[in-house]
Structure 1
Amino acid sequence: MFTIREFLRAEVKPALGCTEPGAVALAVARAREELKGKVDAVCAVVSDSIYKNGVDVGIPGTDGLRGNNVAASLSAFCGKSEYGLEVLKDCSRDNIAAAMDLLEKNAVQVVPDLEKHGVYVKASVRSGKDEACCIIEKSHTGITEVTLNGKTVFSAETSSAGSAATGASITDQVAGMKFRDLVSLVDTMDTEDVEYVMAGVDMNMAIAEYGLDPAHTTGLDVGKTIKEHSGPCFDSEDLSMKIKAYAASAADARMAGTPMPVMSSAGSGNHGVTAILPVAVCAAHYKKEREETAKAIAFSHLATSYVKSRTGRLSPTCGCTVAAGAGAAAGITYLMTKDAEKAAEAMLLILGNLAGMMCDGAKYTCALKVGTGAIEAYHAALIVMGGHHPEAQGLVGHNLENTVDNMVTVSKNGMENLDRAIIEVINQRFA
């Protein structure tokens, strides 16, 4: 069994830009670090989900450049694997110019393997006669193998066999836990854990406020538009619109490639935006204490991971609304009631409401979905606190565990070809 600190360090991490091109860039960076000369070519074979999620999303610090191929090319010049999902944070103008030159030579390829699902990247980087490869699987930072000219220089199996880090990952452990046992970890938080969680609040609020700033144009300006049309009640009365605007503006900025990190949740930056900001905005509105706020946000992270550990790191459904929306609903409810059972009931409302929302890749319109997840989380909390709870109907089962199982069944059996269909539609634009 893991501690709350181990959970937070594994599931709640800073990420710069979308985590799918981030994973591509990380694999390229780790492979390149085995080479001595300049990079001649890059080829990344990725899963359907990685390909779909990285095609249209902005790459931080590039003034609007988008896509997995840009991330792969850029990482060949400035990527550092030690930074994890902030792999491209040292990007410079010279690096961008070099990356674009490599792309113009058609020396960078990112191709989908439609038989690979979830998180999978195999990056091959060539320099002269030498070629290095890096494979990432299961999690966005899960480097499982690195080779140089066909010889293994790193293997996760070998590494873990020689250490005490054997056994199931935290994500795998979460998948086998009961909800009440998992969320009870909030009761074990100490001051260090509180400060770590609140650092995530500061990080995500900063990018939200950047997106709300009239001086910046970010994506579709969803959050800014909501704020502008909310009028004078935005900072006083209309909490639901404030929650939606802050969450959407953070996603606006992030999807447009603003070079600011966010605190992620369950492997996704947009999940982190949805899991954190609705709870934080609500806590500020009701003037909750710092520790109380941190515990509610940690509750949201735990609830988000509960859903994601069962649906998979990447899935056909939109995780930032379904999983993180459920997490935020649980977090707000816990903030206001300290009742884990009511928090689970709020999650049922989100799952019954948004489970059918599909993921069609990371892009500007994700801000609309993040905003939807945020405001519906707040509304779900209000409904439950008003004394209502959903009966078993549709995908909603008799309890949270049964409902999530139902959602997973529909996702796997009814939506298994969705990613393939979406990729076909996307690729028609490039034909």
Structure 2
Amino acid sequence: MAITLKGFLRREVRPALGCTEPGAVALSVARACEELSDREHVAAVRVTVSSSIYKNGMAVGIPGANGAKGNPLAAALGALVGKSAYGLEVLKDTTEADVERARAWVDEERVSVVCDPGRTGVYVLSAVFTPSHKAVCLVSGSHDRVAKVMLDGQVVYEDQEISAHSGSSCGDDELPESYADVFAMLEQMDLEDQEFLLRGVEMNMAVAEVGLSGDGRSLGMGRCIMDASNGDLGLRIRATATAAADSRMWGVQMPVMSSAGSGNHGITAILPVAILGDELGCSREQIARALALSHLSTSFVKRRLGRLSPVCGCSVAAGAGAAAGMCLLLGGDVQRVQSAMEMVLANLAGMLCDGAKESCALKVGTGSHEAYLAARMAASGLSLCKPQGVLSCAFEASVENVAKVNQDGMRDVDKVIIGILDRSFAGLGGGV
């Protein structure tokens, strides 16, 4: 049975605090610790992660840590202050004192995070040790899916829902196979959905405003672009999206609304659509409808790429989603919407994911800006001749082609990137 729009939004569009990869690490450790009556006496935390989680958590800021980075710090904070009931906002209670304690744990080598090169997608296996107990938690399939919890070798919890595709989401596999059927899901939107979608705009815009403010909680990339925009709408979209991702990658302690399991996907899928809708004077319902299409379209591409992938899903999947939503606002029908998405896919299909970190903001900005230009072109009636490059005559086949390039053509990319990162961090004395 195909998923409803309401069910899709509930599963694929959620608040997330900080990068979702170290967030998954913190969640796994926190959930394991919650099985321990003597949580204050944790002696060691040992975490094994997939290559994707390892790569994306090495150099990204942790929420509330004043720019401090890395999976080990996230694991330590998960043990010290994490609450699994918060989901991907697991570290929202973090204080400066907690960060100092977590840094000490990392320095004392009480925490280790190692990569299992045979694992891809979302996979985090945490083992937490006290003098008398061992608790284990596995997060897999999606960033907030606790698959199994064990205490002293006994299973205390196990989720029976298994994703059909390793590393993909547990929800978006139920989207229709035909994009026309996905597009038709917009007719299911009600007032509750509308208000939820618009709340995502408020959340992500608030984080963007931090990046544009120059208050030190970002590198200031978005602000520089805004200063150079001279009122150009495309550059304003790029600047705002860049600023939001910049603050988020720095580790600002504010949630964003995610899409398809990623906060940066959510920034790309939401902010360009909202800014264009405001510029056009669209109603709240029209903007919400376009946001729904952006999220649906992002997941339509993402389900084929995989939850975590060698290519940049923020620009490829969420960029295509944003193009769809903006084209709809500009009066495009389903054919023109598909043309807009195809332009993004043809343009950005090879953009590399080299881990989550500050420069992701540049890619979020690129995806957002190119999505705006693609929507403009498609809404005016322009479309690419097909077949060409990765594009086939059928839209769905084009998306599959991009996925094939990602899965087969870039099979060893993560291994190469991790090797580069390991050598780089070794040169810094073990990390940042």
Q: Fold conserved (TM > 0.5)? A: yes
2:222 aligns to what? 223
In the TM superposition, what is the alpha-carbon distance from 1:169 to its structure 2 partner? 3.9
Partner of 2:409: 414
Read off the aligned partner of 1:184 and give its amino acid letter. A
- Map of 1:198 onto structure 2: 198
- The alignment partner of 1:321 has SS state of helix
Contact 1:24 1:68 in 2 (8 A): yes
2:147 is aligned to: 144
* Range with greater deviation from structure 2 (314-323 or 205-214): 205-214
SS of residue paired to 2:313: coil
CA deviation after TM superposition for structure 1 residue 80, in Å: 0.3
Residue 402 of structure 1 pairs with residue 397 of structure 2: yes
Aligned counterparts of 1:386 and 1:342: Cα–Cα separation in 2: 9
1:164 corresponds to: none
The equivalent residue for 1:285 is 279
Equivalent pairs counted in the alignment come to 416
State how far apart, in whole Å, the 2-side matches of 1:87 and 1:145 are.
18
Correspondence 1:108-257 to 2 at 5 A: 108-157=111-160, 169-174=170-175, 177-214=177-214, 216-231=215-230, 234=231, 238-257=232-251
Q: Is 1:274 matched up with 2:268?
A: yes
Please tell me whether the aligned partners of residues 317 and 359 of structure 1 are also in contact (alpha carbons under 8 angstroms): yes
3-state DSSP of counterpart to 1:429 = helix
Alignment of 1:40-55 (within 5 A): 40-55=43-58
- CA distance, structure 1, for counterparts of residue 103 and residue 209 of structure 2: 31
Match of 1:3 in 2: 4
Distance 2:64 2:138 in 1: 25
Moved more, 330-339 or 14-23: 330-339
SS at match of 1:322: helix
Spell out, residue by residue over 1:354-408, the C-alpha distance to the aligned partner (whole angstroms, 9 max, x if none). Answer: 0000100000000100000000000001111222101221111112211111111
- Alignment-derived partner of residue 418 in structure 2: 423
Q: Residue 307 of structure 1: CA displacement?
A: 0.3
- CA RMSD, Structure 1 to Structure 2 (Å): 1.3
Larger displacement relative to structure 2 (35-44 or 253-262):
35-44
The 5 A counterparts of 1:287-306 are: 287-306=281-300
Q: For residues 268 and 310 of structure 1, what CA distance do their matches in structure 2 show?
A: 15
**Are the equivalent residues in 1 in contact too, given 2:142–2:170 (CA < 8 A)?**
no
- Provide, for residues 293-342 of structure 1, a one-character-per-residue CA deviation record: whole Å limited to 9, x for no partner: 00001100000000001110000000000000000000000111151211
AA paired with 2:30? Answer: A
Q: Distance in 2 between matches of 1:333 and 1:381?
A: 5
Please report how far the alpha carbon of residue 219 of structure 1 lies from its aligned counterpart in structure 2 after TM superposition. 3.6
How far the C-alpha of 1:217 sits from its partner, in A, is 2.7
What secondary structure is seen at the aligned counterpart in 2 of 1:279? helix
- Quick one: distance in 1 between partners of 2:97 and 2:170? 39
Offset, 1:196: 0.2
* 1:29-48 pair list within 5 angstroms: 29-37=30-38, 38=40, 39-48=42-51
Check whether the contact 2:82–2:91 (CA below 8 A) recurs between aligned residues: yes
| Residue type of the alignment partner of 1:315 | S
Moved more, 371-380 or 32-41: 32-41
Match of 2:70 in 1: 67
| Aligned equivalents of 1:131, 1:169: Cα separation in 2 | 28
* Alpha-carbon distance between aligned partners in 2 of 1:142 and 1:354, rounded to the nearest angstrom: 30
In 2, distance between residues paired with 1:418 and 1:206? 34
Corresponding residue for residue 364 of structure 2 = 370
SS at match of 1:144: strand
Scaled by the length of structure 1, the TM-score of the pair is 0.95
The answer (yes or no) to whether the contact 1:244–1:371 under 8 Å persists in 2 is yes
For 1:334, which of 312, 328, 353 is the aligned residue? 328
Q: Is the 8 A contact 2:336 2:381 kept in 1?
A: no
Conserved? CA contact 1:317–1:411, under 8 Å: yes
SS in 2 for 1:69: helix
Structure 1 stretches (4+) deviating beyond 4 angstroms? none
Identity of aligned residues (%): 49
